[in-house]
Amino acid sequence: MNYKNIANDILKILKQIWNNSNNVALHAPCFKGNEKKYLAECIDSTFVSSVGKYVDLFEDMLVDYTGVKRAIAVVNGTCALHLALQLAGVMPGDEVIVPALSFVATANAVKFCGAIPHFADSELSTLGMAPGKLDLYLNDIIKFNRQTGCVIPVNKYSGRPIRAVVPMHTFGHPVDMDPLIELCGKYKITMVEDAAESLGSLYKNKHTGSFGKLGILSFNGNKIITTGGGGAILTNDDILADRAKYLTTTAKRPHSWEYFHDETGFNYRMPNINAALGCAQLEQLPSLLESKRQLAKLYQKKFANIPGVSFFCETDFARSNYWLNVLLLSEETEYLRNDILKTTNTAGYMSRPAWTLLNKLPMFSNCPAMNLDNAEALGKQIINIPSSPLI
């Protein structure tokens, strides 16, 4: 089989779908609703910053949409994850299991807590954390009480507590959650979900980000909806939610005029002007999702007949938001990856490889890791192709 033409075959399909444009983004935001109206209201009211009605409204809308009990809007997804990990009890010197195949923020947030990322492999069918493989690995590295057989959630090789597991729903595709939840119970490890990429994605009809003790979302400019910059913490636990709100607003004790803070808090609260944008965006999420799923269907059909490349589809337990569409090269064609990236980007169709695996980045290269064969294979085979909602 000769695959030499694969780059041009892919480009031809992109051109068909995007009407021969020569400037197609990987993911452009879409402002077709009440954005201008709400922003103008916000400016007219002078409440553009940390006080105003849109923050509460945005949080209520997130609660309605995701089905979690509480949502706390913050300035970005990274600080949402930082605080969520801290609220989950992650302490300096702990280890936190994160996927090696993720955006750098997942591991950075662990470092912000003074903890150590411990890298886990991916499942080929979901692109997310591989529960079966992780179970075998933890069984091998975790301490057991010799007398009782009870699990002590400590890495017996490093001596450090394994405090949390952070599944990440890669490019919007839900991780297989049931076995991961079981595993967290078995090994007494807390789950915190990095759902930064998966607003609108469901696992067995339940919203991603609502399974862990806490979950987080991102509303960065390239995510499915945007607030400019922004994020949210999701939780079903009122006590954690109240603490999140308190710690994101400088840990100030409520009082009509006194400034009294009784902990080192953060200035992580989302400004009203960003929340105004978020409300307008969230109103359009159902139609954005529909259009993104249509695009994915179109890609699936068009790429079905190109040998050496396949379009990545959701599994039967998942309903994906298809945030970034994924082409997978085969072992025979992966050597043509850079050729494909060059051909498509030069023609104005933005495409990107997967992130460099986190364990390969200099600041994480000494962190513990399990066998990462699947993540390494995916790292060579993934190409993200233009994914903006088709309008």
Residue 111: count other Cβ atoms within 10 Å of its Cβ: 15
Among 10, 14, 96, 105, binds ligand PLP (CB under 6 A): 105
| Residues whose CB falls within 8 Å of the CB of residue 147, separated by 6 or more in sequence, listed in order | none
Q: Give the tokens for residue 175.
A: 């991780």
| Residues whose CB falls within 8 Å of the CB of residue 221, separated by 6 or more in sequence, listed in order | 29, 228, 229
Closest distance to ligand PLP from the beta carbon of 384 (Å): 12
- Span interacting with ligand PLP, options 74-82, 159-167, 304-312, 366-374, rule CB under 6 A: 74-82
Residue 274: count other Cβ atoms within 10 Å of its Cβ: 25
Strand residues in the chain grouped as ranges (E): 70-74, 95-99, 116-120, 142-144, 151-155, 162-165, 190-194, 202-203, 206-207, 214-218, 231-235, 309-311, 318-319, 325-329, 352-353, 382-385
Cα-Cα-Cα-Cα dihedral sign, residues 383, 131, 143, 185: positive
Q: Which of residues 38-67 bind ligand PLP (CB under 6 A)?
A: none
Strand partners, 122: 129
Dist CA 278 CA 280 (whole Å)? 5
Amino acid at 205: N
- Kindly tell me which of 102 and 235 has the beta carbon lying closer to ligand PLP: 102
Counting contacts by CB under 6 A, is residue 333 touching ligand PLP?
no
Counting contacts by CB under 6 A, is residue 77 touching ligand PLP?
yes
Site string for ligand PLP, 164-183 (x = CB under 6 A): ----x---------------
- Kindly tell me which of 77 and 117 has the beta carbon lying closer to ligand PLP: 77
Counting contacts by CB under 6 A, is residue 197 touching ligand PLP?
yes
Q: Give the tokens for residue 294.
A: 């249509």
Place of tokens 């031809």: 12
Counting contacts by CB under 6 A, is residue 128 touching ligand PLP?
no
Closest distance to ligand PLP from the beta carbon of 297 (Å): 24
Counting contacts by CB under 6 A, is residue 288 touching ligand PLP?
no
Dist CA 208 CA 27 (whole Å)? 21
Counting contacts by CB under 6 A, is residue 122 touching ligand PLP?
no
Q: Give the tokens for residue 243.
A: 């603490």
Counting contacts by CB under 6 A, is residue 85 touching ligand PLP?
no
Closest distance to ligand PLP from the beta carbon of 62 (Å): 14
Closest distance to ligand PLP from the beta carbon of 263 (Å): 23
Amino acid at 323: W
- Kindly tell me which of 77 and 131 has the beta carbon lying closer to ligand PLP: 77
Counting contacts by CB under 6 A, is residue 193 touching ligand PLP?
no
Dist CA 173 CA 101 (whole Å)? 13
Amino acid at 234: L
**What residue number has its CB nearest to ligand PLP?**
77
Counting contacts by CB under 6 A, is residue 372 touching ligand PLP?
no
Nearest CA to 169 among 316, 319, 66? 319
- Kindly tell me which of 97 and 105 has the beta carbon lying closer to ligand PLP: 105
* Cβ–Cβ under 8 Å, residues 119 and 372: yes
Instruction: Output DSSP code: residue 330.
Output: -
* Cβ–Cβ under 8 Å, residues 183 and 138: yes
CA dihedral 333, 339, 345, 350 (to 10 degrees): 20
- Span interacting with ligand PLP, options 12-20, 73-81, 129-137, 337-345, rule CB under 6 A: 73-81
Closest distance to ligand PLP from the beta carbon of 149 (Å): 36
Counting contacts by CB under 6 A, is residue 218 touching ligand PLP?
yes
Among 3, 54, 58, 103, binds ligand PLP (CB under 6 A): 103
- Kindly tell me which of 196 and 247 has the beta carbon lying closer to ligand PLP: 196
Q: Give the tokens for residue 59.
A: 């949080």
Among 66, 86, 106, 321, binds ligand PLP (CB under 6 A): 106
Counting contacts by CB under 6 A, is residue 231 touching ligand PLP?
yes
Among 84, 96, 100, 196, binds ligand PLP (CB under 6 A): 196
Please give the order of strands across the beta sheet that includes 382-385: 309-311, 325-329, 382-385, 352-353
- Span interacting with ligand PLP, options 71-79, 130-138, 271-279, 341-349, rule CB under 6 A: 71-79
Among 42, 68, 71, 76, binds ligand PLP (CB under 6 A): 76
Counting contacts by CB under 6 A, is residue 115 touching ligand PLP?
no
Using CB under 6 A, list all residues that contact ligand PLP: 76-78, 81, 102-103, 105-106, 168, 194, 196-197, 218, 220, 231
